[in-house]
Amino acid sequence: MISVEDAQNSILDLIRPMGRERVGLLDCPGRVLAEDVQSPRPVPPWNNSAMDGYALRAEDVRGASRETPRALRVIEEIQAGVVAKRTLGPGEAIKIMTGAPIPDGADAVVLVEETERISDDEVHIFLAVREGEAIRLAGEDVQPGETVLSHGTRLGPASAGMLANIGRARVYVYQKPKVAILATGEELVDLGDSPGVGQIYNSNSYALAAQVLEAGGEPVLLGIARDNAEDLTRHINDGLAADLLITSGGVSVGDFDLVKSTLGGLGNDMRFWRVRMKPGKPMAFGVLSGKPVFGLPGNPVSTMVSFELFVRPSLLKMQGYENLFRPSVEARLLHPLTKSPERRHYVRSVAYRDGDEWAVQAIEAQGSNILHSMVRANSLVVFPEYESELAAGSRVQVILLGETPSQKPEHLEMSTPERVHS
């Protein structure tokens, strides 16, 4: 049995980033940039007005105030997108709108609220300004040739705006990995069929597909393979068309746990198959026909936690991410936790901000079949392998899986457990 870290390292050593593809800006959010993007032009392209007002020479309005306005001759009016025809001379002003290029000869803008138009060709200025006032300089945002976004950047709304800002309509990003998902088990029926006696719905495929989507991959559902080598072989072969294959179930020590042996028969190079953790000890990782294959455990919570710890970082690495792991924080445990030593437990929990610190409380039902614990949880307390007791109030490491409330959620009050066995 190997540690979680050894398992993660062994997997990530083998995972390679995908190739790249070009996408339009509407498809870029969430993708990782696979090129350095330089701007061919300055942004803004020319000096322009930061506000609606009058372009003028600072020198001409020295000492201006409400009591002692300066009178200037209005020689032109320009809106954004229009270049002034005239060069501004002493004693002159050009009415200007936000974004319009600063006319030659002008060196400042006074905002319109600090002026009064006396007639068509005369304006009174009530404010003295310095040279450069209310002028946005060419290249202030982006210099020509500047790298505005570098390789490895995760693209978001601001990046999309920046790409458009410099006129780039398409960029190279890492491809999304296609992830084949195979459920295994005689007892499973898929949605749309009714479970007979002894049968249950296949839930793992859907939880995994959602996890794949959330991690930026493209899930490909392979359906359900029955617990025999032939059916497993057929489905696994289908899965090898994808970039990565996930199976769930059939990977433990039961009489019908045939996933490992079937993969082995196909030539899978198995790296390990048990990890010192709970939930999710049986977890077979190998490489088959050059594709990473994850044999995840069948219990729904084990499946999801194993995905979190091993598959998600792999998918992120394939997409060019640098940060492969969820954020983790130190939190105050609200109650004692006990377990038997030797395996590390990932305790489904609710973490929330409590003033300046984090507090965390375990969900009461920790069974690896209790999917409800995952529905309620927003975090996992890391209960170290060789410890068996965590006291109330102790500081624990917590992996944050999703949104965390900024105060204690109401429903937690009712279910405060005296002691949670995980």
Minimum CB separation of residue 182 from ligand AMP in Å reads: 9
Handedness of CA 147, 150, 155, 158 (dihedral sign): negative
Q: CB under 5 to 8 A by kind: which of Mg ion, ligand AMP, none does 280 bind?
A: none
**CB nearer ligand AMP, residue 138 or residue 220:** 220
CB 52 within 8 Å of CB 111: yes
Q: Given the structure tokens 């050059």, which residue do they identify?
A: 290
**x/- letters, 31..50, toward ligand AMP (CB under 6 A):** --------------------
Q: Which stretch binds ligand AMP (CB under 6 A): 84-92, 102-110, 181-189, 211-219?
A: 181-189
DSSP letters along 147-177, please?
EEE-TTPBP-HHHHHHHHHTT--EEEEEPPP
**CB nearer ligand AMP, residue 202 or residue 361:** 202
Question: Which of 49, 247, 248, 373 touches ligand AMP by CB under 6 A?
Answer: 248
Q: Is the peptide bond before 327 cis (omega within 30 degrees of 0)?
A: no
d(CA 33, CA 27): 12
Minimum CB separation of residue 287 from ligand AMP in Å reads: 22
Minimum CB separation of residue 23 from Mg ion in Å reads: 39
297 binds Mg ion (CB under 5 A): no
d(CA 228, CA 208): 22
Q: Which stretch binds Mg ion (CB under 5 A): 82-90, 106-114, 241-249, 372-380?
A: 241-249
219 binds ligand AMP (CB under 6 A): no
**CB nearer Mg ion, residue 239 or residue 249:** 249
Of residues 185-214, those binding ligand AMP (CB under 6 A): 185, 187-188, 200, 202-205
Q: Which of 192, 211, 208 is nearest to 249 (CA)?
A: 208
Q: CB under 5 to 8 A by kind: which of Mg ion, ligand AMP, none does 188 bind?
A: ligand AMP
Tokens of 383: 């209960």
Count of residues binding ligand AMP (CB under 6 A)?
19
Q: Given the structure tokens 């982006």, which residue do they identify?
A: 142
**x/- letters, 281..320, toward ligand AMP (CB under 6 A):** ----------------xxxx--------------------
Q: CB under 5 to 8 A by kind: which of ligand AMP, Mg ion, none does 203 bind?
A: ligand AMP
d(CA 216, CA 323): 14
Q: CB under 5 to 8 A by kind: which of Mg ion, ligand AMP, none does 252 bind?
A: ligand AMP
Q: CB under 5 to 8 A by kind: which of ligand AMP, Mg ion, none does 349 bind?
A: none
Tokens of 10: 């062994």
CB 406 within 8 Å of CB 344: no
Question: Which of 101, 177, 185, 313 touches Mg ion by CB under 5 A?
Answer: 185
**CB nearer Mg ion, residue 250 or residue 282:** 250
d(CA 248, CA 283): 9
CA Rg value for the chain: 31
CA distances to 101, 134, 380 from 377, in Å: 55, 51, 8
d(CA 185, CA 232): 10
d(CA 330, CA 244): 33
Minimum CB separation of residue 187 from ligand AMP in Å reads: 5
Q: Which stretch binds ligand AMP (CB under 6 A): 106-114, 180-188, 288-296, 331-339?
A: 180-188
Q: Where are the beta strands (DSSP E) in 57-154?
A: 70-78, 92-96, 108-111, 115-119, 122-125, 135-136, 147-149
Q: How many CB atoms lie within 10 A of CB 312?
A: 20
Residues in touch with ligand AMP (CB under 6 A): 183, 185, 187-188, 200, 202-205, 248-250, 252, 254, 257, 297-300
Residues in touch with Mg ion (CB under 5 A): 185, 249-250
